Amino acid sequence: MTYTQTTPDRGSAVPASAVHEGDAATASSHGTPDDRSASRAGDIDDVARLLQADGSRVADAGLDPWIVDLSPHQLRALHRDMVLTRRLDTEGVALQRQGQLALWPPCRGQEAVQVGTAHALAPGDFVFPSYREHGVLLARGAKPEAYVLAWSGEEHSAYDHTTINAAPPQIIIGAQSLHATGWAMGAQRDGATDVAVAYFGDGATSQGDVNEAMVFASSFAAPVVFVCSNNQWAISEPVAVQAKYPIAGRAPGFGIPSLRIDGNDVLACVAAMRWALDRARRGGGPTFLEAVTYRMGPHTTSDDPTRYRTSDEVERWAERDPIARFEAYLRAEGVLDDSALADVAAAADALAAEVRSACVRATTRAPETVFDHVYAEPHAGLATQKADYLGYLAGFETDDLR
Amino acid sequence: MTYTQTTPDRGSAVPASAVHEGDAATASSHGTPDDRSASRAGDIDDVARLLQADGSRVADAGLDPWIVDLSPHQLRALHRDMVLTRRLDTEGVALQRQGQLALWPPCRGQEAVQVGTAHALAPGDFVFPSYREHGVLLARGAKPEAYVLAWSGEEHSAYDHTTINAAPPQIIIGAQSLHATGWAMGAQRDGATDVAVAYFGDGATSQGDVNEAMVFASSFAAPVVFVCSNNQWAISEPVAVQAKYPIAGRAPGFGIPSLRIDGNDVLACVAAMRWALDRARRGGGPTFLEAVTYRMGPHTTSDDPTRYRTSDEVERWAERDPIARFEAYLRAEGVLDDSALADVAAAADALAAEVRSACVRATTRAPETVFDHVYAEPHAGLATQKADYLGYLAGFETDDLR
Amino acid sequence: MSALTLGAAINAGLTRAMADDERVLLMGEDIGKLGGVFRVTDGLQARFGPQRVIDTPLAEAGIVGTAVGLALRGYRPVVEIQFDGFVYPAFDQIVCQVAKLHYRSNGRIRMPLVIRIPWAGGVGAAEHHSESPEAYFVHTPGLRVVAASTPQDAYVMLRQAVASDDPVVFLEPKRLYHSKGEVDPDADLADAPPLHLARVAREGTDATIVTYGALVGTALDAALAVEDEGLSLEVIDLRSLSPMDLTTVAASVRKTGRVVVAHEAARQAGVGAEIVASITERCFHHLEAPPERVTGHDIPYPPSKLEKHHVPDLDRILYGVDKVLDRTGEREVVL
Amino acid sequence: MSALTLGAAINAGLTRAMADDERVLLMGEDIGKLGGVFRVTDGLQARFGPQRVIDTPLAEAGIVGTAVGLALRGYRPVVEIQFDGFVYPAFDQIVCQVAKLHYRSNGRIRMPLVIRIPWAGGVGAAEHHSESPEAYFVHTPGLRVVAASTPQDAYVMLRQAVASDDPVVFLEPKRLYHSKGEVDPDADLADAPPLHLARVAREGTDATIVTYGALVGTALDAALAVEDEGLSLEVIDLRSLSPMDLTTVAASVRKTGRVVVAHEAARQAGVGAEIVASITERCFHHLEAPPERVTGHDIPYPPSKLEKHHVPDLDRILYGVDKVLDRTGEREVVL
Ligand SMILES: Cc1ncc(C[n+]2csc(CCOP(=O)(O)OP(=O)(O)O)c2C)c(N)n1
Ligand SMILES: Cc1ncc(C[n+]2csc(CCOP(=O)(O)OP(=O)(O)O)c2C)c(N)n1
Ligand SMILES: [Mg+2]
Ligand SMILES: [Mg+2]
């Protein structure tokens, strides 16, 4: 008698060529076992990849078909958004150091997964980012000069979600995974082909919410893609605290196909995301992507990573830089030359200048606006509180308090 | 290049013979793929089993070694506790119908998993039951006549957890899974070989708490066994609402070996539990058991299952009755004869009589006791409230209110 | 007009809201085929289909969290929490998301979510099935919190809650599910009293009882009980706990000078504290006696055989009335 | 005696508690190698090892839920919630388990758990990092809730909280983490004021300010500011929010007849409502003016650039004082 007994330390690899059939369930029945041992949880090379660290292209029968159509123009756009993201990020850090921003959570090192997955989206898709997804939001069309103000303390959220189909950045770890799933259930009910995307980190996978999101997504076959940026750290905790086995291995237990990709390889990120989105649009339900990447900077500008990790580790990851890798590839392919690179650098400088000037120009809104938008409809109690507070403020001789 | 891509609809079966090595991680590397399709989620025969529905014994190289030593005495004890559990349950339902109990959640049909797993425990182990684990608590030594009072509205919990190493029944679905994990972390820190056991249902697996419990248990390699009694229903919702794929398939993603067993086969339950406990005691960490069983009765005495399931289904499961099956086996083995059965029946009748009389005799404790045990240490505010209330009560001329 | 139970009135309100607006969805555990453990959603899945009456997995954070996403997509989800004591797993989603998304997004996101909660005790239930968590929600800016005490209010207020662009915690006194009253199913929402207004359930002059939910009936009984003694009690059914209609309350207290505030929830930092504080601030010079709170004790909900010593009843409300009228010891207590 | 910051005092208290009792464990996110995002647990993992200072997975329900299990096994866990706004995922475990297990088990189970929460605003932080959730806990029977406002109190109260056989929510005003004060590290707990008592931080005769946490300092500043005007304010540091030391509060209000209650949390159904209601009930005939609440508004915590318009400051407390003394409009406001 055979029966189901599953052990944690094995995945069941399916031929990569099966991936693009968009039907993992069928594909899997042709699988061959993957016998690598448990230790591969930390194996950052146990990933699907199209570009090696030096920029050389490797074949992957599963992923290749999903990017064959990328035009030079699209490739340059990917590159450009990665560079712009890095520049935005560098500027964010600098502005915080100079007291212009209250806080900045750097995304350096994670540009490929952010930009790559975002470029795969259709305008009607909706993203639910965490606080670190600067590249996703930039690629979605958030105006950088408005966007940064969410980190200056002027606003909780500084872009209009309706224009870029992106929810406000989520700070409560994992909460947005449920919102994405619910939104996807709505798209499903509308008979639309729109897909929701939840972005979160490796640490978030420990939260009940993320697991409940997988339960709901699976139960309703909701068109949602979970993108877990496994950047190896949740503040000071290495991913091993959250997961002894690869995170990508968790979703299948919920009935959700998953793929572990090189999160520093933008082509793999585009390809995997297109595959996942396509599955969703065809009614195939949710997909889980684990993008193996690295948070090159501190958790936020308030953090001191030297307390918990070695510079060795950081240096090793620097060799896997997503932008350098892609640049090398594009140059080799003749898609990018010095002059194009100079253009991008100039655009990045312009972006940085605009962001900086927006910060410097920013003025704090009027005190009474703290009472706005608590409710969508009139609220007598709050109106009284507002009037009282304005009366109190009016008692001051100067308007210094404002 | 190979990489990890996991699809939901496959488990990786390991040779059953590997099970008892107590090291699933090693065992797994000899695995062969299991290619059954997704639909096996509902396949109630895709389980490890030692007794068939007619009581005939089947071999299972993985489980067999764990029960070879069961003596006739132990076998009879298992049988006896199952019969007593059923009688307690029947009496609970009857007492509720007669207004002696406020509510009763019947466990009819689930006696094998409850009694079998509990019999595998050592006295120092600690169980964290849900509201339906009457058989577990009986086997742990809870006095039935005290136990039932938890369902009369006299007490929230009517046994002393310290004497039987069992937490109060948990009503908040899934919450106890974390308590068990924490207790196991404590046992681990004590250098003890005690194991914690969390009991919960199929519905509970959707709760964030149960998933977080798996994360913590895995992260700390805590000596805890998760026993999920998949009785096919969470009130009116079939298990398919919670899980599209077998629940046992979820744990491995968290790094926890799991086993799907026939929950109506008490021998399989004993064997699997012994295996899991042994793993835990040897420092192997957590194990997840999915016991496939069936809730023969309503969810509680307040429920009307005719609204959501067919009598056909119930009848089909009646043919898999755990007690009839085990009785047939024991008779065939010559371990049980008519006279022994009569003894058990008499004991069951005595138990029922005692339980009934305890209910009838039960008196409600004094009003002021509602103020007791809110805090372990004195609390002035509450003392005042108590005094005020007693003063108020004293104003009544009769003590009818008491 | 037809006589409906409070439960049936909510069912009728849901039916109407769903018929009027196809973006209205119901979500919850066992609300479909079973019609909910209280049968409040009975027949709705049969009528509107499983896409609109959704049996969810057993996870409250999941229910509320996905409802947030559905609201973002333009739906108006009405979620059922099976019992009051099971709302806490969803607390983070309610407090940090449902209540704050409108503010977080500078008003761009709307959260027209209704969270229905069968609520409070007195029904002989097991642990966690008789909780009164309203103060937690009343203390949370961004939420509206309402409690109906009659079938007519239940019908109208449910529809108003669904129509509101703000999230509404809709408390259903489960003790009253089977109590009957006249309901006008064709009531025009425009003619109905707005959701945020309190209702003077009975006019009186000697003292005011402010309460909500099932205790409104008990307060009315109290008013009736003291009529013979020549006492005239005013009874206010708060209806909306956030916002609170303090105008109506203050007007009454200014008239009577004496007030009893009653609720089932624990006293400390309960809604009664807010009412007493607000009354004191607004009616200080009209108060002839300190306001009196008649509430549940500061204890976890006790085993049901003892709940009558926790949940305020007629006698305890009368005792409170006696206190504000300075007549304790005078009453002949007849049980 | 040595001068320590409030953060260092808590660190010292934890160190002492762990040294005294090996069943004391610390659990939380980033509390080990990093020493916590506020460095409150700095050095403790190095000293006591990872078995006793446990970096947990990122899941608050998991942290509190496993701590419950550890308590059942005889440990005394001290859990850290990284920021006030992240306590809500653990709310169910806190309200339904931590607070109720002693009651549920008829006193057989004890829950000697401390839940440390870096708490409240005024530090220019991002959303969810400046919350004041205390009312939720104060309204929950079974929990004790305390808030230290000085390093000495922080040191002693932390040790008392760990020693308590009841669960204690231990609020740490994060705005004060770096404020210094004298701490006697050899203080004998037996000589220290019991955990549940309030402290008269300053004696006065004209009005009482009742507050807790970081606002105690602001209230003392207010008392100083009006000294010149010949006004004498009494300042009470509540210290324990559940239970509340109403004896000390009432004695003060009976003396002054006027009271301002201040906290950062939203006003509606906040702790201030309870204080005002209790004072009114106990001191009705001594009150010369309605008690005044100076609190955060009933809004979600605003973006940090605007937080000064939400968190009560010196001016707002003085305004409240003026109100209870009927002198609004008289003060020359100098900014
Ligand atoms: C519910 C909750 N708990 C704790 C935190 C504090 N916190 C902010 S980021 C973070 C680590 C998150 O790690 P991960 O999910 O891996 O994302 P990353 O920051 O690496 O992008 C923590 C603990 C939070 N924001 N929300
Ligand atoms: C947090 C929570 N939500 C909802 C409920 C109501 N409820 C009680 S039992 C139950 C179904 C549980 O199903 P399952 O976990 O399969 O256990 P079973 O009852 O079948 O033994 C539900 C929804 C609850 N007790 N706790
Ligand atoms: Mg991370
Ligand atoms: Mg079940």
Chain C residues whose CB is inside 8 A of the D297 CB are 141
Task: Judge whether C129 counts as a catalytic residue.
Answer: yes
Q: In what order do the strands lie in the sheet with D168-173?
A: D53-55, D24-28, D76-80, D114-119, D168-173, D144-147, D240-242
Residues B118 and B134: beta-carbon distance below 8 Å: no
C-alpha C82 to ligand 2 mean position (Å): 10
Of C70, C106, C245, the CB nearest to A183: C70
**Per-residue tokens: A99:** 């007291």
Each residue's pLDDT tens digit, D80-106: 999 999 999 999 999 999 999 999 999
Centre a 10 Å sphere on the Cβ of residue D93 and count the other Cβ atoms it contains. Answer: 28
For the CA atoms of B329, B331, B336, B339, the dihedral, rounded to the nearest 10 degrees, stands at 140
> Which residues 27-56 in chain A show a CB within 8 A of chain B?
27-29, 31-35, 37-38, 40, 46-49
Burial class (CB in 10 A: 0-12, 13-18, 19+), B124: exposed
Is beta strand D76-80 parallel, antiparallel or unpaired with respect to D24-28? parallel
Each residue's pLDDT tens digit, D14-43: 999 999 999 999 999 999 999 999 999 999
* d(C-alpha D274, C-alpha C275), whole Å: 10
| D267 pLDDT more than 80 | yes
Question: Between A397 and C79, whose confidence is greater?
Answer: C79
Mean pLDDT computed over D257-263: 98
Question: How close does chain B come to D167, measured CA to CA in Å?
Answer: 9
Q: Name the phi and psi angles at A102, rounded to 5.
A: -75, -35
Burial B169-183 (b: 16+ CB within 10 A, else e): bbbbbbbbbbbbbbb
Burial D131-158 (b: 16+ CB within 10 A, else e): bbbbbbbbbbbbbbbbbbbbbbbbbbbb
Centre a 10 Å sphere on the Cβ of residue B278 and count the other Cβ atoms it contains. Answer: 17
For the CA atoms of D99, D100, D102, D105, the dihedral, rounded to the nearest 10 degrees, stands at -170
Q: In what order do the strands lie in the sheet with C114-119?
A: C53-55, C24-28, C76-80, C114-119, C168-173, C144-147, C240-242
Q: Do C65 and A157 touch (CB under 8 A)?
A: no
C-alpha closest to that of B214 among B225, B202, B203, B230: B225
pLDDT at B161: 86
C-alpha D183 to ligand 4 mean position (Å): 55
How distant, in Å, are the alpha carbons of A142, C2, C210, D112, D246 from that of C214?
Answer: 50, 21, 12, 36, 31
C-alpha closest to that of A295 among A282, A308, A284: A308
User: pLDDT below 70 — which residues of chain C?
Assistant: 329-335
pLDDT band at A3 (very low <50, low <70, confident <90, very high): very low
Residue with tokens 């931590």: D98
Measured in whole angstroms, the distance separating CA D145 from the mean position of its chain's CA atoms is 7
Chain C residues whose CB is inside 8 A of the D268 CB are 138-139, 141, 242, 244, 274
Q: What angle do CA A172, D62, C170 make, to 5 degrees?
A: 60
**Per-residue tokens: D157:** 């109260």
Estimate the crossing angle of helix C314-324 against helix C215-227, to 10 degrees: 60
Q: What angle do CA B374, B380, B384 make, to 5 degrees?
A: 90
Q: What angle do CA B255, B257, B263 make, to 5 degrees?
A: 140
pLDDT at A150: 87
Domain with CATH 3.40.50.920 in chain C: 199-330
Q: Domain D2-191 has what CATH class?
A: alpha beta
Mean pLDDT computed over D194-222: 98
Q: Is B160 helix (H, G, I), strand (E, B) or coil?
A: coil
Q: Is D107 helix (H, G, I), strand (E, B) or coil?
A: coil
Each residue's pLDDT tens digit, B66-115: 999 999 999 999 999 999 999 999 999 999 999 999 999 999 999 999 99
| A11 pLDDT more than 80 | no
Of C59, C128, C309, the CB nearest to B206: C59
Centre a 10 Å sphere on the Cβ of residue A316 and count the other Cβ atoms it contains. Answer: 12
> What percentage of chain B exceeds 90 in pLDDT?
84
User: Residue D153: what residue type?
Assistant: D
pLDDT at C12: 98
Each residue's pLDDT tens digit, C226-246: 999 999 999 999 999 999 999
Chain C residues whose CB is inside 8 A of the D270 CB are 139, 269, 274
| B215 pLDDT more than 90 | yes
Mean pLDDT computed over A359-370: 95
pLDDT band at A395 (very low <50, low <70, confident <90, very high): confident
Alpha helices in chain D (DSSP H): 6-20, 44-48, 60-72, 91-92, 101-104, 134-138, 151-163, 215-227, 246-256, 271-283, 314-324
pLDDT at C1: 78
* d(C-alpha B104, C-alpha A277), whole Å: 48
Q: Do C103 and D272 touch (CB under 8 A)?
A: no
* d(C-alpha C76, C-alpha B54), whole Å: 52
Centre a 10 Å sphere on the Cβ of residue C29 and count the other Cβ atoms it contains. Answer: 29
How distant, in Å, are the alpha carbons of B364, C175, C215, C294, D44 from that of B402?
Answer: 9, 22, 21, 19, 53
> Which residues 365-384 in chain B show a CB within 8 A of chain C?
365, 367, 369-371, 374, 381-382
Mean pLDDT computed over A79-90: 98
- Show Cβ contacts of residue C96 under 8 Å, excluding neighbours closer than 6 positions: A172, A175, D85, D88, D128
Ligand 1 atom 7: residue of nearest CA: A173
Q: Name the phi and psi angles at B74, rounded to 5.
A: -65, -40
pTM of the model: 0.96
| D312 pLDDT more than 70 | yes
* d(C-alpha B25, C-alpha D295), whole Å: 57
**Per-residue tokens: A203:** 């640490």
Ligand 1 atom 4: residue of nearest CA: D86
Centre a 10 Å sphere on the Cβ of residue A397 and count the other Cβ atoms it contains. Answer: 9
* d(C-alpha C271, C-alpha C210), whole Å: 11
Evaluated on CA atoms B311, B317, B321, B325, the torsion sign reads positive
| D107 pLDDT more than 50 | yes
**Per-residue tokens: B6:** 């996991």
C-alpha closest to that of B388 among A273, C5, C309: C309
pLDDT band at A21 (very low <50, low <70, confident <90, very high): very low
Adjacent-strand bridge partners of B206: none
Q: Do A7 and B19 touch (CB under 8 A)?
A: no
pLDDT band at D193 (very low <50, low <70, confident <90, very high): very high
Alpha helices in B57-189 (DSSP H): 72-97, 111-119, 134-140, 144-147, 161-164, 175-189
Centre a 10 Å sphere on the Cβ of residue A150 and count the other Cβ atoms it contains. Answer: 25
Of B241, B307, B397, the CB nearest to C34: B307
**Per-residue tokens: B374:** 């809110």
Q: Is C109 helix (H, G, I), strand (E, B) or coil?
A: coil
pLDDT band at D331 (very low <50, low <70, confident <90, very high): low
- Show Cβ contacts of residue A66 under 8 Å, excluding neighbours closer than 6 positions: A20, A270, A271, A272, A274, A275
How distant, in Å, are the alpha carbons of B131, B136, B262, C33, C130 from that of B105?
Answer: 7, 14, 22, 20, 18
C-alpha closest to that of A185 among C56, C169, B205, B250: C56
Q: Is B72 helix (H, G, I), strand (E, B) or coil?
A: helix
Each residue's pLDDT tens digit, C258-315: 999 999 999 999 999 999 999 999 999 999 999 999 999 999 999 999 999 999 999 9
> Which residues 169-188 in chain B show a CB within 8 A of chain C?
171-173
H or E, element range at B380 = helix B380-394
Q: Is residue C61 within 8 angstroms of chain A, CB to CB?
A: yes
C-alpha closest to that of A245 among A14, A94, A28, A36: A36
pLDDT band at B1 (very low <50, low <70, confident <90, very high): very low
> Which residues 281-300 in chain B show a CB within 8 A of chain D?
none
| D329 pLDDT more than 50 | yes
pLDDT at A23: 30
Residues B240 and A217: beta-carbon distance below 8 Å: no
| B32 pLDDT more than 70 | no
Integer-rounded Cα radius of gyration of chain C: 20
Domain with CATH 3.40.50.970 in chain D: 2-191
* d(C-alpha D154, C-alpha D190), whole Å: 16
C-alpha D138 to ligand 2 mean position (Å): 28
Mean pLDDT computed over D143-168: 98
Q: Do A374 and C103 touch (CB under 8 A)?
A: yes
Give the chains touching B; criterion: ≥3 Cβ pairs < 8 Å. A, C, D
Tell me whether 0.90 is exceeded by the ipTM.
Answer: yes
Residues C88 and D96: beta-carbon distance below 8 Å: yes
Each residue's pLDDT tens digit, B272-318: 999 999 999 999 999 999 999 999 999 999 999 999 999 999 999 99
Q: Is residue A29 within 8 angstroms of chain D, CB to CB?
A: no
Atom of ligand 2 nearest to the CA of C58: 23
Q: Which CATH architecture has domain C199-330?
A: 3-Layer(aba) Sandwich (3.40)
Burial D226-238 (b: 16+ CB within 10 A, else e): beeeebebbbbbb
* d(C-alpha B197, C-alpha B353), whole Å: 31
